[in-house]
Amino acid sequence: MWTLYVGIFIALVWILDYFLLDRRQFKLVRRLNHPLRLPLIGQAWLALGIKPSQTREFIDKLNKGYNQLFPNVLCIYIGNKLEVGLSNYKYVERILTSTKFIAKSSLYDFLGDVLGEGLLFSTNQKWFERRRIITPTFHFKILGQFFEVFQKHSENLCRELENLADGRTFDVTPHINMTVLKSLCETAMGCEINEKDYSYLNAVKELSYHVATNFLTPWHRIKLLYNLTPTKRAQDKCAKIIHDFTTKLIEERRKMLIKSTENQDLSDLDNDEIGLKRKMCLLDVLLQSTSNGKPLSNDDIREEVNTFTFAGHDTTTIATCFTLYMISKHVDVQQKLNKEIEEVLGKDEVTFKSLSEFKYLDMVIKETLRLYPPVPIISRRLYDEDDFGDFVAPGNANYNLFLYSLLRNPANFEKPDEFNPDRFLENITPFGFIPFSAGQRNCIGQKFAMINIKTTIINILRNFEIFPGFIESKIEFHITLKSNGSFIALQKKIK
């Protein structure tokens, strides 16, 4: 009797799976690399017990085990939802330059629920309109003003680090993180963050943790189940703190601009005027902008400011911390950087103009970003099939671009796991080095981030000698690249 029940159950599972599965899609997948798929659950069984610290090894193992047909292409079903993984620069270029892949992956939906449909998550006409509005914020003149903020906070950071400059190992991450957050809040919202506002900063950091938990937990993608979890309640609490803080600031800034005699639309200013009439921040740009002839609502503005702060603080922190970490481990690199600082600045203070003269520092940061991309995986959504030449890409699927694997691909870089800034003296394979993504949806704030990172690194190197700590950094794949810390030691320089 039990045999009959089991047989009926198995038959029902197969029948249900048959009707839930996109048959055309599955036909195309069968021509590509894919592990054994089970009815209803797909290949989700492969990830059982995988921890964040094991994600990189897990992806590498899958790629090596199923790359016989199309190298660096892998198809995985989570239930009946198809995820395609890619780390071949030709296919990555196809995706990032095609208008068919303009939509973000459905994996980001839970982030949109918290932050709204800002530039990072919006698509189609809304994305084009927001990109047009926000682009002037990163005008050369305004970036020059942002430098003043970065310089102020990096100098404060150096004073803070003096208390730790005794040769002992410590994790520099929390110090860099708070400095970056303060800088971002001031450049995004035009306000200085003080101790009474730390609840906002802590909420931003805590939200990053909850988002990562969602990203790595497949059943959290079922909203009915996720809404019952403690993670959802904690995430909602963080979101409320962030929204309340930003909304209050928007309302105050709006009233101030209405009273101001300098209230002028940024689009009316020519290149020489932008940033000269008064200091601009992202919030000012949004408050003075229109969409379809109407001012942006408070909700529109809030989602852009929150997205900018959330997306920018973690990635910039990661890039800065890993750059310091790599400098600490390579004495020759640190010596070259010190020499470059002496040649460019001498006894003078660093300026916005002088940043462009730090060519070797540029290469050091780029090499760090190659080895430790702040966003190790980016994802796009393809709704209709697309011919890649070698194969037909299935529609109705998420396409995950493994930047971490791409940037360490031996086909693109000689001795890819070695830290060698000089490799950037030569031409790099197009789309082989894209730590800030590429194409239409490339990171709009990449110049902003580089100015922030360079300013911080220069000021630290002018004040301290950097030594490797006694604890190695171990990386994990979340939405961003996480680690157990960036451990270094400092010694104050005698001037």
Q: According to the model, what pLDDT value does residue 318 have?
A: 93
Q: Where are the alpha helices (H) located in 372-402, listed in sequence order?
A: none
Structure tokens at 362: 């540029």
In 3-state terms, what secondary structure has residue 104? strand
CA distance 73 to 63: 7
Neighbour tally for 286: CB within 10 Å: 25
Please report which helix (H) or strand (E) contains residue 81, including its range: strand 81-86
Q: What angle do CA 114, 118, 121 make, to 5 degrees?
A: 80
Structure tokens at 280: 């601009």
CA distance 468 to 203: 31
Structure tokens at 223: 């909203």
Give the CA distances from residue 98 to residues 388, 431, 437, in Å, rounded to whole numbers and listed in that order.
11, 13, 13
Q: According to the model, what pLDDT value does residue 164 have?
A: 93
How many residues does the structure list for the chain?
A: 495
For residue 493, the 8-state DSSP code is: -
Strand partners of residue 491: 166, 465
What percentage of the chain has pLDDT greater than the value 90? Answer: 26
pLDDT tens figures, 75-118: 888 888 888 988 888 888 888 888 888 887 877 777 777 777 77
User: What percent of the chain is helix, strand and coil (3-state, nearest 5)?
Assistant: 60, 10, 30
Neighbour tally for 479: CB within 10 Å: 23
CA distance 218 to 38: 16
CA distance 117 to 51: 30
The answer to whether 463 and 493 are in contact (CB under 8 A) is yes
Average pLDDT along the chain, 495 residues, taken 10 residues at a time: 70 73 86 81 74 73 71 83 87 86 77 75 79 79 84 94 93 92 84 72 75 68 78 86 83 74 47 45 80 79 82 89 96 96 92 94 96 91 88 90 89 91 88 85 86 96 94 84 90 84
CA distance 442 to 18: 38
CA distance 480 to 314: 8
CA distance 226 to 205: 21
In 3-state terms, what secondary structure has residue 347? coil
Domains annotated for the chain, with CATH where assigned, are 2-492 (1.10.630.10)
Question: How distant is the alpha carbon of residue 469 from its chain centre?
Answer: 26
Any residues with CB less than 8 A from the CB of 52 and at least 6 apart, and which?
Answer: 212, 216, 476, 477, 478, 482
In 3-state terms, what secondary structure has residue 417? coil
Half-sphere exposure of 50 (CA within 13 A, CB side): 20
The answer to whether 82 and 20 are in contact (CB under 8 A) is no
The answer to whether 82 and 356 are in contact (CB under 8 A) is no
Q: What angle do CA 386, 401, 311 make, to 5 degrees?
A: 120
The pairing of strands 397-402 and 81-86 is parallel
CA distance 371 to 195: 35
Please report which helix (H) or strand (E) contains residue 399, including its range: strand 397-402
Question: How distant is the alpha carbon of residue 89 from its chain centre?
Answer: 19
Q: Is 443 annotated as ligand-binding?
A: yes
CA distance 95 to 401: 9
